[in-house]
Amino acid sequence: MGAIVVFGAGGRAGRAVTAEARARGYAVTAVVRDPARYPDLRAECVTVVRGDVTDAGSVTATAAGHVGAVHAVSPFSGPEQGFDTLDPRFFVKAADALLDGLAAAGVGRLVAVGLGANLLGADGRPVMDDPLAFPREIRPFALAHTAGLNRLRERGGGPVDWAMLTPAGHLDHGGARTGRYRVGGEQLPAGSREPWLSYADLAVATVDEIEKPVRHRTRVSVFNFLER
Ligand X SMILES: NC(=O)c1ccc[n+]([C@@H]2O[C@H](COP(=O)([O-])OP(=O)(O)OC[C@H]3O[C@@H](n4cnc5c(N)ncnc54)[C@H](OP(=O)(O)O)[C@@H]3O)[C@@H](O)[C@H]2O)c1
- Angle at alpha carbon of residue 223, lines to 222 and 228, rounded to 5°: 180
Min dist. Cβ of residue 25 to ligand X (A): 23
Min dist. Cβ of residue 142 to ligand X (A): 9
Task: Return the CA Rg of the chain.
Answer: 17
Tell me the three state secondary structure of residue 32: strand
Min dist. Cβ of residue 126 to ligand X (A): 12
Min dist. Cβ of residue 118 to ligand X (A): 9
Tell me the three state secondary structure of residue 73: coil
Whichever of 1 and 69 has its CB closer to ligand X, that residue is 69
Residue 73 to residue 53: CA distance in whole angstroms? 8
Point out which residues bind ligand X (CB under 6 A).
7-8, 10-14, 32-34, 37, 52-54, 72-75, 77, 113, 115-116, 145, 167, 171
DSSP category for residue 125:
S
Whichever of 19 and 113 has its CB closer to ligand X, that residue is 113
Whichever of 157 and 227 has its CB closer to ligand X, that residue is 227
Which residue of the chain is nearest ligand X when measured via CB? 11
Whichever of 171 and 220 has its CB closer to ligand X, that residue is 171
Dihedral (C-alpha) 59, 62, 65, 68: value to the nearest 10 degrees?
-60
